[in-house]
Amino acid sequence: MEEKITSKLLLTALRAKLPKAAVLSEVTMVDEEEAARVRTSQARTSLHFRRYFDRKGLTYDAILPDGYNHKSAVFIRRIDALVFDGDKRTAIEIKISRSDFFRDTPEKRFAWMKHTHRFIYLAPKGLVKLEEVPDGCGLWEYENGVITSVKNARGNKAVQEFPASMYKYFAWRAFIAEQKLAKEPYKKR
């Protein structure tokens, strides 16, 4: 019987490949640059927003591309796995279909590439062609329970700190995890 490949299966294999690393699944981040563009666009079209941003101490002086529309902008960026391995951070984007791979956007990648040491796609073997992998990104392939590196990601030597909101997010996730553990009966691990 052929194994059904799911994101959950690939995430489990990733944790097995990196047993000493902290692997957080489904991590979201506010893309501060895109959020600044949204605020700028809103402030240019509404006195209400300008007053609101001034009151909150938020800036709205970003450069907007021609035809920019804040109503269609997305500034929440989600990644399938964020790996903390020693002092290195890796963003892992899991792809289980070609259509899913082609829906990925440069804006999402760049937001994560700024804040991590590398950005890697994890996909079933043969799903993504080597020449389709975006510049600077790596590719790991899954086959029969094993993940192998097919293309190394270019390392980011100028990793930026996460936005302050990320640390609140990590603290909240840790709190939720502790609450779940407290509700479970003691199990030997």
Separation CA 27–CA 139 (nearest Å):
20
- Tell me the pLDDT tens digit for each residue of 102-160: 999 888 899 999 999 999 999 999 999 999 999 999 999 999 999 999 999 999 999 99
The answer on 65 and 118 residing in a single domain is no
The answer on 153 and 140 residing in a single domain is yes
Domain that holds residue 178: 7-30+79-183
Say what the pLDDT of residue 72 is.
80
Say what the pLDDT of residue 1 is.
52
Residue 90 lies inside a defined structural domain of this protein: yes
Q: Count of domains in the chain?
A: 2
The answer on 159 and 133 residing in a single domain is yes
The answer on 144 and 67 residing in a single domain is no
Say what the pLDDT of residue 48 is.
92
185: pLDDT confidence band, cut at 50, 70 and 90? low
Could you tell me the two tokens for 112?
């994560």
Residue 136 lies inside a defined structural domain of this protein: yes
The answer on 178 and 135 residing in a single domain is yes
The answer on 64 and 131 residing in a single domain is no
Say what the pLDDT of residue 63 is.
87
The full 3-state SS of the chain, as one line of letters, equals CCCCCCHHHHHHHHHHHCCCCEEEEEEEEECHHHHHHHHHHHHHHCHHHHHHHHHHCCCCCCCCCCCCCHHHCCCEEEEEEEEEECCEEEEEEECCCHHHHHHCCHHHHHHHHHHCCEEEEEEECCCCCHHHCCCCCEEEEEECCEEEEEECCCCCCCCCCCCHHHHHHHHHHHHHHHHHHHHCCCCCC
Ranges 3-7, 28-32, 88-92, 183-187, most confident:
88-92
More reliable by pLDDT, 33 or 127: 127
Residue 188 lies inside a defined structural domain of this protein: no
Say what the pLDDT of residue 188 is.
58
Mean pLDDT of 52-76: 86
Residue 149 lies inside a defined structural domain of this protein: yes
Residue 171 lies inside a defined structural domain of this protein: yes
Mean pLDDT of 8-24: 95
Phi, psi of 80 (to 5 degrees): -70, -35
The answer on 63 and 47 residing in a single domain is yes
Query: Is a pLDDT exceeding 80 seen at residue 89?
Result: yes
The answer on 127 and 46 residing in a single domain is no
Residue 157 lies inside a defined structural domain of this protein: yes
The answer on 177 and 110 residing in a single domain is yes
